[in-house]
Every structure is written in structure tokens, then in C-alpha cells.
Chain A
Amino acid sequence: MPSVSVRELSLNFGDVQVLRNLNLDIEEGEFLVLLGPSGCGKSTLLNCIAGLLDVSDGQIFIKERNVTWEEPKDRGIGMVFQSYALYPQMSVEGNLSFGLKNARMPSDEITKRVTRASEILQIEPLLKRKPSQLSGGQRQRVAIGRALVRDVDVFLFDEPLSNLDAQLRSELRVEIKRLHARLKNTMIYVTHDQIEALTLADRIAVMKGGVIQQLAAPQMIYNKPSNLYVAGFIGSPAMNFLPGRLVVNGEEVSFTTKDGASISLQGYEASTSLSQGGEATLGVRPEHIQIHTELIPGVTIPAAVEIDEPMGADSLLWLKLEQQSLSVRIDADLNCQEGTIYHLEFNIPKSSIFRKDTEERI
């Protein structure tokens, strides 16, 4: 039984279609991340689920209850915002209990819940303070607490970590993950940060232009992106793309670059079938390329070193291959001189091939 269901959801702002006929099922206790660039409709979708935006068409179910026309407070959701959105004139305690007071809950129950939430989030010493006396990380903790006390079915996070500095961000990221492990609530999390998405999510929905491009587990999204867009969006540094064509020769299929170099595609894990041939793009991540000093026929392609970027744990080597820059992750100890020719071996089982016309993965 899905915890949250979105059925054929559309939303228009005037003539602009922000969400197009969107379908999404989120399982009970699942951590789903909506990932995409700004303007892709991910926050809009979250606001629709929260009931803060009226939908143009379609339905939303939470716990199998049609909540399409319900007020936000009646949907069983709690929401955490990017700018924290704490009520500045109230103390932390006041912020936490505001929703409960609105629900006319008895005061001993309110105290109990506030105490429990502040224990979980370790903000007990801050209860009497005003939001302006808190640091960014503490504020966001209080904002999470506000959702926590209301004992909701679904947590909605709208880019909650974007306003924090890098170190706090990774700390709170772990904390959110721990919170999910403890509470086991359904959580929907909007972000444009792929690290957050990859680390937190049970499943990621990559969005673009109001449409979900791919909905899958992080490893699946990373290893088998369903189309060129997802492949290019996920991964840093980005995936290398090599234009060329598929050549079918009986059972054997190989990939031929523009300049005629050929690579055998033995071991490729196809989503459909390679045997259709035609123009295609080979996508391979920087860590899935190996460099050799000597040529292996049918396996390697030669390329010249352009730049070596040391990144501490490893180095990023930029090579020129047929007017195309390729990045390769290599051992940091390897000192590469500019202009050196290396022979590149692509890890075919971990690569993706996309049709040129539809940009879908083959």
C-alpha cells in the first residue's frame, strides 16, 4: 500500500505548464528524493502534496485517502523549509507547540511531545531561546522538530540544507538519515544537490521540465541512467559522452567513434537490445576508464593528456580524444605530463549507450 500517491497531476501557472500529467507512488516508510535543476517543478510538486498549491488536474492520496482538496493541516504532513521559517517572535518551545495548540491538544500532551522531540533532536537546552539566538544548524533542527511533534505520516523537506555551510550540511544530512532510520516515516525530500540525493534516498526521482525522467534506487540511477539527461545530471565530474555509431556484425556488436576507432561492446548490460545498430552516444564515467601505456587492439583508444587536476584523494586527468575532452579519475600518485599519449580502456559493463534520436538508454 503506497503511503503517498500522485495520480495524473498537472499544474499550470497561466500558460506555463509546471507539472505535466505526473504519476508517483511512494511506499510506506520510503525516503524519496526529488532531484532536479531549479525550475524543474520539484518544489512545486512538494507544495502540491503539502496542499499549499491548488492543482490544476489530477489527484493526491495520502494513506489511501484522497486529500486533493484538503487543507494542509488535515493531510497528516509536516514540512521543513529551506529558510527554516521559524516564527521569530516565539521561543523554540513556542515554535514547536504552535501546531499542537492550533489542534487544541491538552497541554500535558503538548509538553510530552515537545520534550520527546527536543530529546530526539538534542535541542533541549535551547527551548527558551528565540530563533534569532540560534545558529543555522540549530534553527533547522527546530524546524524539523516542528514537523516531528505533530506526529505526522509524511515528512516533506524543501531543500532543508541549502542555506547551511558545507560542514553543517554534511552533519545534518547524516542526522536526517539517522532520524529516518529511527522514525521510519515516509519522507519526501527536494534538493538540487546530487550528493544529498545519492546519500539519503531509497529512491530518487530525477525531474526536468515538470516530468519525472527516471525513478529508481540511487545505484540504478548512477549506473543505468535511463536517458542522456539523467546521465549528464548525476555524477560529479560529469559522465563522458562519446558520439559514434553501433556496428552489428552477427552476434558481435561494437561501437565505432567518429574517426573510426572501434570498441567491442562485449559484456554490455543492455536495457533493450543493441542489435538495432544506428547512431549512438557512449557514456562512461571518469572512474570507469582505465589508462594503459600500450595499445590493446579492439579495446583501447589513444588520447593525449591535456591537464592533470589533483584533487587530494585522486586526480582528474583531462584527455583529448577526437576533438572531445574526456575526464578520467586516476591515482593521485601518477604524475602525467601534458601531451603524453595514453590508451584508454572503457569499462563496458558499467557504461551506458544512448540512442542519438530519442536519447534513451539502449
Chain B
Amino acid sequence: MVNPSLLPAAPKVVGPRGPKPTKAISPRNIMLYGTLIVVALYYLLPLYVMVVTSLKGMPEIRVGNIFAPPLEITFQPWIKAWAEACTGLNCDGLSRGFWNSVQITVPSVIVSIAIASVNGYALANWRFKGSQIFFTILIFGSFIPYQVMLYPIVILLREIGLYGSLTGLVIVHSIFGMPILTLLFRNYFTSLPEELFKAARVDGAGFWGIYFRIMLPMSLPILVVAVILQVTGIWNDFLFGTVYTKPDIWPMTVQLNNIVNSTQGVKEYNVNMAATILTGLVPLVIYFVSGKLFVRGIAAGAVKG
């Protein structure tokens, strides 16, 4: 307790005191929120049109009012897009493409991340002879346009007998993900305290021991980033999917294009909309589920390197 006589005589309280009051509705706020709402609507409107159209029947669509909500909700277009729409000779809808895409994406994501994380770990912690040159070449690789490599890879896959197969496409995706993923993992592992690595070495852990028991358990944020990048990238890929596969094993994106762009018969807008939403669903779900981790991971990798 301070002796009151030691305190200076406080002046009488007049004027402002406590937290400064803030006005909810001010010109500044109106401008700010107004702009934000307009921009949000602008981006959400196409999605709204898609959802609404996909729930209408064709007679209702022909009326032409694309913004109007459906008078009669029908899920028939969704069923048709998933299970009945025809592409070429196959009339089992997008489901075929969906399973193809799953078979392409899952192994590609696992293989590319498994290899790239070891690459990044080795480059960050075990500075072997020539590691700098190796790293530079790898990064340089990510600047070469895909178009340059399309045809050589066709020849390469043909020679090893994997052209037109899912395995071939998985290999291609794994290789093309390598530069950016390696960079991502290398930067993340460089940002971890070096003393941790030293302590593990003194404790007698080897290359793989440190990787599996120290580094990997600490890399959840960056693993999430890598998974998101790869899943969305590979799922949305169209170019490699068209070039290196054949109709039976087309990924979902290629099949979607063929449904939407078919020139025969009536354009079934509701089916097209449903098919497009179905195709975009996987990346969308991934973003919603791991959005928070994604931001954290990108920031964690960006601190150093």
C-alpha cells in the first residue's frame, strides 16, 4: 500500500476518460462494408446461378430468368450428371471420372509429398556436397513451361510402356510437383531450430531416425499446405489428363469438359451446372476443412529461407 500522502494531488477529473467511443455507423464504415458486400456478392453470384440452375427442370430454364429461384426443386440433373450422362461410348456419368481422379490424385499426392519432404529435409539439414547446385537445378526446373516437356514425356512414357495408363499419369504428376514441394519443405525445415537436429544427432539418431521421429511429427502445418496444393492442383489438372490418358481413364475434369461441350442434342444447362459443381466439390471441401491450417502453414514456411 502506497502512503496516500506520497501521491501527487490528482487534478479533478474533467473531460474524456476510459476507452475512446467508436461509432458503429460512420462514413468510413459504410464505405468499407459497402465495398466488401458488393465484392462478395460479385464473387458469389455465379455460384448462386449454378446452384439455382442445377435444381431446375429444363422447361423452367427455357423461361430464361437465370436469377430466379427454382419453382419446383428437382435433383434429377444431379443424378443424371453423376450416373447417366454420356461421354463418348460410356454412359455412366461423372462417377467414372470421379473414381479415375481419385485413383490419380491419392497416389500422386502421397508419392510426391513423401519424396519432396525427404528432399527438403536432406537439403535443409544435411548439407551434402553439391546440395546447393542440386537445389538450384530443382528450382530452375519449376520455371520451365509445361508445354516444352509435353511431347518428350509422351515419348518417355511410351518407351517404358506406361503411356495411356493411370500409373504414367501418377508419375508425371509426382515429378511436376517436386520443385515447389521441395522448396516448401526445405524452407520449413530450415525454419526449425537447428539445435533440435544437433541434439538428435548427439542422441544417436540417424538420417531416417531424425526424419521420422523428430522432423515429421513437427511438420503437420507444412504437410497440410502440401496436401492442399497437390490435391487441388492434381484434381483440377486438365492438360496432363487429356494428353497422357485415354477415354476409359479420363480424370473428372476432362470428362466434365466433354459433357459440357458435347455438341449433340439439347444443351442441358441444369446437368452441366450440376456436373461442374460436383467436379469442384473436392477442392472446395479441402479448403473449408483445412483453411485455418493452410494459412498457418504458409506463414510458417515463409518465415525463413
Mask: chain B, 78-118; 1 = CB below 8 Å from A; 0 = not: 00000000000000000000000000000000000000000
The residue that B204 contacts in the complex, of A81, A88, A99, A143, with Cβ under 8 A, is A99
* B203 in contact with A73 (CB, 8 Å): yes
* B198 in contact with A85 (CB, 8 Å): yes
* B201 in contact with A52 (CB, 8 Å): yes
- Is B302 an interface residue, CB under 8 A from the partner? no
- Is B47 an interface residue, CB under 8 A from the partner? no
- Is B214 an interface residue, CB under 8 A from the partner? yes
Minimal Cβ-Cβ distance residue in B for A50 = B202
Chain B residues in 8 Å Cβ range of A89: 217-218
| Cα distance A85–B195 in the bound complex, in angstroms | 6
Chain A residues in 8 Å Cβ range of B198: 47, 50, 52, 72, 79, 81, 85
* B195 in contact with A72 (CB, 8 Å): no
Minimal Cβ-Cβ distance residue in A for B206 = A102
| Cα distance A243–B285 in the bound complex, in angstroms | 78
| Cα distance A77–B214 in the bound complex, in angstroms | 20
- Is B277 an interface residue, CB under 8 A from the partner? no
Mask: chain B, 198-230; 1 = CB below 8 Å from A; 0 = not: 111111110001000110011000000000000
- Is A1 an interface residue, CB under 8 A from the partner? no
Mask: chain A, 72-108; 1 = CB below 8 Å from B; 0 = not: 1100011101110111110000000011001100000
Count A-B pairs with CB separation below 8 Å. Answer: 57
| Nearest chain B CB to A102 CB, angstrom units | 4
* A102 in contact with B195 (CB, 8 Å): no
| Cα distance A52–B196 in the bound complex, in angstroms | 12
Number of A interface residues in the complex (CB < 8 A): 25
Interface range on chain B: under 10, 10 to 19, 20 to 34, or 35 or more?
10 to 19
The residue that A146 contacts in the complex, of B203, B205, B214, B217, with Cβ under 8 A, is B203
| Cα distance A103–B196 in the bound complex, in angstroms | 18
Q: A83-B195, A85-B195, A88-B218 are in contact. Are A73 and B202 (CB under 8 A)?
A: yes
Chain A residues in 8 Å Cβ range of B204: 72-73, 99, 102-103
* A82 in contact with B195 (CB, 8 Å): yes
* A102 in contact with B193 (CB, 8 Å): no
* A99 in contact with B203 (CB, 8 Å): yes
| Cα distance A87–B196 in the bound complex, in angstroms | 7
Chain B residues in 8 Å Cβ range of A79: 198-199, 202
Chain B residues in 8 Å Cβ range of A86: 199
Chain B residues in 8 Å Cβ range of A87: 196, 199-200, 213-214
Chain B residues in 8 Å Cβ range of A99: 202-204
The residue that B203 contacts in the complex, of A47, A52, A98, with Cβ under 8 A, is A98
| Cα distance A50–B193 in the bound complex, in angstroms | 18
Q: A50-B198, A88-B218 are in contact. List 8 more A-B contacts (CB 8 A).
A: A72-B201, A77-B202, A79-B199, A81-B199, A83-B195, A85-B195, A85-B199, A102-B204
Interface residues of B (CB under 8 A from A): 193, 195-196, 198-205, 209, 213-214, 217-218
16 CB contacts below 8 A, A to B, read A47-B198, A52-B201, A77-B202, A79-B198, A79-B202, A85-B196, A85-B199, A87-B213, A87-B214, A88-B218, A99-B203, A102-B203, A102-B209, A103-B204, A143-B199, A146-B199
